[in-house]
Amino acid sequence: MKPEIFEAAKCRLENLKKIRNDIKKQQINEPEGSLRISTHNGKIRTYRKFGDKSKKDQYIPQSEHELACRLARKGYLDKALTLVDDEIDHLEKYVDDCTDNTVEILFGKLSSLRKEMIVPLVETDEQFVDRWENQTFIQKPFGNSSQAFETKRGDIVRSKSELIIADELFYAGIPYRYERRTSIGNVPVFPDFTVLNTARRKEFIWEHLGKLDDPDYADNTAVKLNNYLSNGYYPGINMILTWETSRTPIKPELVRDLISIFIMK
């Protein structure tokens, strides 16, 4: 199990480092000094302060307003850089210290003899997958006229495209169910695949839209997808979509990319 906080922390680190690089680029050729703003007789006045205390603050007239803006931006960027650097330091320390030292990982570090004596506080990935795969489920029945293709795992699927998806899931070691019955908004449906992201303990529904150039199929698909959306299933969040027409078949490399992005992280 991989707590999502670590992925969130890594994403935050990546974004912060981009922000830091952007700040440093903007800090090139900054003017000397910092901005001081005061009011006198109800009028706002701007001054440039120097690090050398022996230098008197320099009044910035309205004709040099651009200088005041540059100094204001310089002060903002300096403070932003300090905050970004501090957050990066904290996050890097947290990720380094905790990624391999969580309660979820502890049981796996024990010796086999100790494991036999203990019930883990949190299910191991192996225990979780085993329980998930051993749950009984209702599968959509095949009609006598249906096409049938056997996958590498030994399942029977209805199309060559579903065969590609099933085999890529199998090669990647991803637990999945084919056409497992579920209810979406009290409507019984049979998603093409129900896929398990083991590290996040999260299920994804994977629908392959195989005949989008067929008007009737496209209309039925729109109804089905609207039902998903209305009941909390969103592409990229807990649902994966692939599609094709007779002229644009699905590509295995695309399937592998989707597995890598959504199921293996």
pLDDT in tens, 195-215: 999 988 999 999 999 999 999
Average pLDDT over residues 55-84: 95
Residue with tokens 């109800």, as numbered in its chain: 42
pLDDT at 55: 85
More confident residue, 188 or 265: 188
pLDDT at residue 54 above 90? Answer: no
Share of the chain above pLDDT 90, in %: 80
Residue 218 and residue 197: Cα distance in Å, rounded? 29
What letter represents residue 127's amino acid? Q
Residue 253 and residue 20: Cα distance in Å, rounded? 34
Average pLDDT over residues 210-224: 94
pLDDT at residue 150 above 70? Answer: yes
pTM of the model: 0.74
Residue ranges of alpha helices (H) inside 144-251 are 160-171, 215-230
Cβ proximity of 4 and 265 under 8 Å: no
Cβ proximity of 125 and 119 under 8 Å: no
Name which of 174, 172, 175, 195 is nearest 133 in CA terms: 175
- 4 contacts: CB under 8 Å, gap ≥ 6: 200
pLDDT at residue 145 above 70? Answer: no
pLDDT at 74: 96
pLDDT in tens, 82-112: 999 999 999 999 999 988 888 888 998 999 9
pLDDT in tens, 154-191: 999 999 999 999 999 999 999 999 999 999 888 899 99
pLDDT at 73: 96
